A and B are shown apart, each in its own frame.
Chain A
Amino acid sequence: MEPAILIGLLAAMLRLATPLLLGSLSGIWAERSGVVNIAIEGMMLTGAFAGYVVAERLLDAGVFDGDGTGHLWIGVLAAVMVGSLLGLVHAFWTQRFRTDQIVSGTALNILAVGVTAYALRLVYDVGGSTKLPETLPAILTWSVNGKDGPVGVSFTPLMVLAVVLCLLTHVVLFRTPWGLRTQASGEHPLTLTSLGLSVLATRYVNMAISGGLAGLAGAFLTLEGIGQFNEGMTSGKGFIALAVMIFGRWKPLPSLAAACLFGLADAMQIFLQTLGVEVPAEWLQMLPYVLTLVALMGLMGRSRPPAALGQVS
């Protein structure tokens, strides 16, 4: 086996796993506190759009020149904030209005598709957006000389940040009072109430974090990925992230491994094409979805959701 191909596969896996990891962390923060968040898809899409538009407009207005990365980072910030805002809307609707959490999440997903497509036309007149001159540059590159020139793995800032956030989630969830509070809110909200702590406040804060993480995943897609926004570009990544979370048993570190596995399934497309395997592209594109179904069926080990998930307080 040509090592360059394997390195290419590794690079693709890391790139594809990053939004899934961030999405699964988003799910963990929400569901550990007892709120079902199937709107990760929509939050990701809105974050991807907001991040792109803010960065592109700042560049266009000449606030930043194309040499630096300032506009990109402000875009990332915008994506996180928009995601958090949607997270708070979801929290408000499900906790204050007692709306069914699946219905509210579905509405937000539809809203995200509509708002991004509407605003895209509003800002750019036509259905497409222009490509940003640059995306967030790699902070570390490991390259090897292959048959057709050097092949490398680039570690980009948000990719590294995602891993850091994963570790941070682990520490906060299992080693801090807030983590204990989050778990109580998701497992048995009455214990929190009996301690005089607010279940609602816990869920609002956690949903803001959850939304922010999903928005960050979106920013990764546009500002560190292709530098462009396309309608519906998340194509189910938010739902696959939920399967990653379930496969990772609602825990950050196993979810990191699960995200890599799902990223690998996605990367196989590129890998098999490199090897010249004659499989239709559509069949390969089905792989991550099929893997998600397998994970949901619990064929890769049973996992138990938080006990109070989806219930109103």
Chain B
Amino acid sequence: MNAFRNLAWSLAAVLAALLTGGVVLAVSGYDVADALGALLKGALGSPNAVAETLVNMTPLLLAALAVALGLRAGLFNIGVEGQFLMGGLGAVVAGYALPGLPGGLHMLIVLAAGMASGAAWAAVPAWMKARFGAHEVITTIMFNYIAFRLVGWLVRVPLHGPGSIPQTRYIAEGAHLPVLLADTRLHAGFLLALAVAGGLWWLLWHTPWGMAIRSVGLNPEAAEYAGVRVVRTLVGSLALSGGLAGLAGAVQLAGVDHRLVEEGFSAGYGYDSIAVSLLGANHPFAIVPAALLFAALRSGAGLMQIEADVSSQIISVLQAFVILFVAAEAGLRRDREFKAARKAAAVAPPSPPAPPQAPNLPAAGATSGQGQEA
């Protein structure tokens, strides 16, 4: 029932956001039908367009799973963009510095290296939060900016490959993710991403550690009381979240780019994944269609920019509206539940006295505890 209502509301939020986007286009004086036609053609118009949509969906899905894992633990990991980039960095170095390995093994090492780099990059803000209480929202954003500069320098100077363009060397052929569909860029990373979605669902709902993560996200005090090691769980989930983001970067590198360029590798996947995760109510399975939708918008936006001259950034506007609509419903529902709980507590028999209600009841778009910076 709850899942059904979530789905209905998510669809309503998407429709409302698309409608708002249409109004924005119309007010701007664009031909809305033309723009939409180009968008659809770009996203689904040909077998290759569909394949490109799935290619876009792959890193988006993995990155959104990273965001979702963080949010399930009550952590808002806005650092996915930087962790994605660091994942690409780890993957590219493992991809060209270890030649001569058997193909399949090399591929696994490349993915593992990317995942480890992303996890390490997220572990530092996790430690800062655990040790000093530094709020992860701002620290992870700072780590994004630092990652951009760091990778920019690495690619420009020490890791600069042959040629004048600032980019690294190409990874070994054996480390490439195999192409699934001839004459397209659709690669095995797509299947891996789907498998990771299943794995994350298993982790969160069928393992003790997943139980600990979710309980910390819902109510850290209660979790502590129940014997969960809160700090360890928080640090672990942010590091694993970074690991998934790093895996997203490694998959993009081994599947599509095959080398790291100075700019444009992460291409906003990390930021887009926030909207995808929230739209999917931070549930691994619901995130799959959400990622497909945003991937389709992303591939369609390119053609829309060429054919209808509409900036592809209209997609960011749509994403912002999706977040605002989804979060507004979550907020109102939490408020209703809170008031209902208070009412129930008020009519309960006077003794024993009703325990005070926890200020933060379970929130669908659960986020960062008190929302304090320091």
Contacts and interface: CB of A to CB of B under 8 A. Distances in A.
B150 A296 contact: no
Interface residues of A, number: 52
B128 A100 contact: no
Interface residues on B, range: 35 or more
Contact of A118 (B278, B314, B332): B314
Interface of chain A, main secondary structure: helix
B361 to A, nearest CB: 11
Given A99-B327, A100-B327, A309-B372, A114 B138 contact: no
Interface of chain B, main secondary structure: helix
A98 B333 CA distance: 9
A197 to B, nearest CB: 22
A106 B76 CA distance: 10
A289 B142 contact: yes
Contact of B374 (A239, A296, A312): A296
Interface string A82-115: 0000000000011001111111101110110111
Interface string A117-157: 11011100100000000000000000000000000000000
Nearest to B149: A282
Contacts of A97: 327-328, 331-332
A280 B328 CA distance: 45
Interface stretch (B48-56, B89-97, B191-199, B362-370): B362-370
Contacts of B320: 107-108, 110-111, 114
Nearest to A92: B328
B313 A93 contact: no
A80 B84 CA distance: 35
Contacts of A254: none
A239 B372 contact: no
Contacts of A194: none
A65 B143 CA distance: 45
Contacts of B134: 293, 296-298
A226 interface: no
Contacts of A289: 142, 145-146, 149
A120 B311 contact: yes
A272 to B, nearest CB: 15
A239 B334 CA distance: 28
A110 B316 contact: yes
B72 interface: no
Interface in B324-374: 324, 327-328, 330-332, 334-335, 359, 363, 365, 367-368, 370-374
Contacts of B315: 114
Contact of A103 (B132, B143, B278): B278
B327 A280 contact: no
B252 interface: no
A81 to B, nearest CB: 19
B370 A111 contact: no
B135 interface: yes
B153 interface: yes
A120 B368 CA distance: 34
A262 to B, nearest CB: 12
Contacts of B138: 38, 239, 242-243, 292, 296
Nearest to B320: A111
Contacts of A160: none
A102 B368 CA distance: 8
16 contacts: A98-B331, A98-B332, A103-B76, A103-B327, A107-B324, A110-B323, A114-B319, A115-B316, A118-B317, A236-B145, A246-B373, A280-B156, A282-B152, A298-B134, A305-B372, A309-B372
Given A110-B323, A304-B374, A310-B370, 14 more contacts: A102-B137, A102-B368, A103-B367, A106-B137, A106-B274, A107-B324, A111-B324, A114-B313, A117-B316, A286-B146, A289-B146, A296-B132, A296-B139, A309-B371
Interface of A: 36, 38, 93-94, 97-104, 106-108, 110-111, 113-115, 117-118, 120-122, 125, 235-236, 239, 242-243, 246, 280, 282-283, 285-286, 289-290, 292-293, 296-299, 303-305, 309-312
